[in-house]
Structure 1
Amino acid sequence: MKYVNETVRRQDRLLSEERALQLIRDSEYGVLSMVDADGGAYGLPLNYVWDGEHSLYIHCAPEGKKLRALAHNQDASFCIVGHTNLLPSRFTTEYESVVMKCNAVIVLDDEEKRHALQLLIDKLAPEYKEAGIKAAEKSFHRVGIIRLDIIEFSGKCKAVP
């Protein structure tokens, strides 16, 4: 997982690597973008969790359009938007965002799926860990997990003085 900001057009708007990692760790959702089996663009907002190293995990149904798209082409992009502030009187918006180039893995062993579900519970429902683990085990056969291995990421922001 490499932080690559050299390709960001507006070099005056670079987000620090530290803040980009904080957004990856703490944000609630991001937008997964991929190419479907027919060659069309397909994107959707999803909850996720970062493993703290180089991968994101997303839970899903064990079948569906996104799994078919990723089976066809494992290249994906994941975008997280952090703080935003619309400034209508100045015709602009303050923002911060991270864009990741990823390789999707859709076939995981049961141990990794359980680990991903535990990470998701820890992040999204920390006050319900015990109930979350029980629910995850009960529906384990009906849950799919996508792992997005982050190849590179970049961050951009705009702050208006």
Structure 2
Amino acid sequence: MKYVNERVRRQDRLMDEERAIELLREGEYGVLSMVSENMGYGIPVNYVWDGQNSVYIHCAPEGRKLTAIEQNPMVSLCVIGKVNLLPRNFTTEYESAIFFGKANVNLSEEERMKALHLLIDKLSADFKDIGDKYAHKSFHRVEIIRVDFSEFSGKRKKVL
């Protein structure tokens, strides 16, 4: 996954690569964007980063998201960090990173279960035993999407 900032219009607001990765690692959710029915389609999703170039997202085994990915697997995931509205200044401090890649479905059962355990570790760390039982019980009604990222960029605004 390559850090690419050439297309960011406001070069003075570039976020450093380390902070962009930190947002990906620590973010609670992101907005997955894709094309559905010839229009943009973005939805908030829980995800977990694998520590390398991919994230896993869980969802129902059918629906608009999977149909869109089947038609065009190229997606983006936007993760938003700290936001501070400054009404008196008519502006907002913010930080966000956007990751571009290809979504993959029809993963092996082993990879899907691994992804569920990564999600449990991230989102329900205090309930790993119960989470494992739940993952096995509901496995048949959960789909896992793996997004393999090729590039990303980050942007932030700080007001002095």
Q: TM-score, normalised by structure 1?
A: 0.98
1:144 counterpart = 2:143 = yes
Cα deviations across residues 38-66 of structure 1 (Å, max 9, x unaligned)? 21211100110000000010000011110
Deviation at 1:107, TM superposition (A): 1.2
1:24 counterpart = 2:30 = no
Which SS does the other structure have where 2:69 is aligned? helix
State the partner residue of 1:69: 68
State the partner residue of 1:55: 54
Give the distance between the partners of 2:75 and 2:134, measured in 1 at CA.
29
Unaligned stretches of 5+ in structure 1? none
> What residue identity is the alignment partner of 1:147?
R
Question: Identical aligned pairs, as a percentage?
Answer: 60
Give the distance between the partners of 2:42 and 2:83, measured in 1 at CA.
21
Give the distance between the partners of 1:134 and 1:65, measured in 2 at CA.
28
> What residue identity is the alignment partner of 1:60?
C
State the partner residue of 1:14: 14
Cα deviations across residues 47-99 of structure 1 (Å, max 9, x unaligned)? 10000000010000011110000001001011011000000000000000001
User: What pairs with 1:5-154 in structure 2 (closer than 5 Å)?
Assistant: 5-36=5-36, 38-154=37-153
> What residue identity is the alignment partner of 1:108?
L
Root-mean-square deviation (CA, aligned residues, Å) is 0.6
Give the distance between the partners of 2:139 and 2:71, measured in 1 at CA.
25
Aligned length: 160
Give the distance between the partners of 2:145 and 2:159, measured in 1 at CA.
37
Which SS does the other structure have where 1:8 is aligned? coil
Which SS does the other structure have where 1:139 is aligned? helix
> What residue identity is the alignment partner of 1:27?
G
Unaligned stretches of 5+ in structure 2? none
Give the distance between the partners of 2:7 and 2:38, measured in 1 at CA.
25
